[in-house]
């Protein structure tokens, strides 16, 4: 449930208009109208009713698709009344699929909510591949997810990656559209008719076998870092789909380690960090690199 108080009004405004101003999308307003419940000062109301300054609006959202709760431990990096940031381990799916209904982050989050008596839903702001580890931002309400979709939002994600060979440049910027590989249902590729994709690579450490780089995303295309790394001639260690070897790692060496965003409700800048997982950390230590993520 969401509850807010109507502020100063400059023109006649309906309940629907107040919901829109609060950040609830047109699609969700339609669902509230037909499937949810909206109260004005404690009484159920039609969305066409005009509001006044000081009115208290309460919204109970329509039920979301059912995700089974499953007792899986969560590594929580940040939480407040509106958002949850979880450190996802490699090997875990973000969502259920037709073939896998259990063991996903969605199952774990719904169990976490239920254990605390919270009636909330699962709205991830982005996706990580199964074998990419690190920070996942989850909105607890659909209207919070909608607020992040605005064009003027500040939402920055940085990854740590292990790439094959000696990464030759201190910094590399890649603007290369990413689209589906016509010969694969999974693989992506750089192609002129793909969606615009922008990645910035910063070399942190390197030896002749592998390098540690930070990658900051401006866009978020499927497999973007994996595709752009291969495009540069330095595929991710362990990423055999895009040309990396699996002698050093059994999964792609990619970890979502830093997240910064403007909180859509409090308007404060939030920064969250996640340390390297053990498998990637062991290669950093093997190379003798004195690397600490908080120093970047």
Task: Report the 10 Å Cβ neighbour count for 264.
Answer: 20
Active site annotation includes 55: no
Q: Are 198 and 210 in contact (CB under 8 A)?
A: no
Alpha-carbon distance of 289 to 170, in angstroms, equals 16
Burial class of 242 by CB neighbour count within 10 A (0 to 12, 13 to 18, 19+): buried
Structure tokens at 175: 């603007």
- Which run of H or of E encompasses 83? strand 83-88
3-state secondary structure of 121: coil
Of 65, 129, 193, 240, which residue is the catalytic one? 129
**Residues 6+ away with beta carbon under 8 Å from 220:** 126, 157
Residue 243 sits at φ, ψ, to 5 deg, of 100, 0
Burial class of 107 by CB neighbour count within 10 A (0 to 12, 13 to 18, 19+): buried
Sign of CA dihedral 228, 231, 234, 238: positive
CA angle 62, 87, 268 (to 5 degrees): 70
Structure tokens at 56: 């208290």
Q: Which residues are annotated as catalytic?
A: 129
């Amino acid at each position: 449930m969401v509850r807010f108080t109507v502020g100063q009004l400059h023109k006649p405004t309906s309940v629907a208009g107040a919901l829109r101003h609060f950040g609830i999308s047109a699609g969700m307003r339609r669902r509230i109208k037909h499937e949810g419940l909206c109260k004005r000062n404690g009484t159920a109301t039609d969305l066409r009713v005009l509001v006044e300054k000081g009115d208290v609006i309460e919204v109970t959202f329509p039920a979301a698709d059912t995700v089974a709760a499953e007792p899986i431990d969560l590594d929580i990096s940040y939480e407040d009344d509106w958002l949850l940031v979880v450190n996802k381990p490699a090997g875990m799916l973000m969502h259920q699929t037709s073939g896998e209904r259990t063991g996903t982050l969605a199952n774990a989050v719904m169990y976490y909510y239920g254990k605390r008596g919270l009636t909330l839903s699962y709205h991830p702001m982005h996706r990580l591949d199964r074998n990419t580890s690190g920070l996942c931002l989850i909105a607890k309400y659909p209207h919070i997810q909608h607020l992040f979709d605005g064009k003027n939002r500040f939402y920055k994600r940085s990854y740590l990656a292990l790439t094959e060979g000696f990464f030759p440049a201190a910094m590399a910027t890649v603007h290369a559209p990413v689209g589906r590989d016509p010969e694969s249902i999974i693989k992506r590729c750089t192609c002129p008719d793909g969606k615009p994709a922008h990645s910035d690579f910063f070399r942190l450490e390197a030896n002749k076998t592998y390098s540690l780089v930070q990658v900051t995303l401006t866009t978020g295309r499927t497999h973007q870092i994996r595709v752009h790394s291969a495009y540069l001639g330095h595929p991710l260690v362990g990423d055999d789909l895009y040309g990396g070897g699996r002698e050093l790692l059994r999964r792609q060496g990619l970890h979502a380690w830093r997240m910064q965003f403007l909180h859509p409700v409090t308007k404060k800048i939030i920064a969250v960090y996640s340390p390297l997982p053990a498998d990637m950390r062991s290669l950093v230590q093997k190379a003798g690199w004195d690397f600490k993520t908080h120093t970047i």
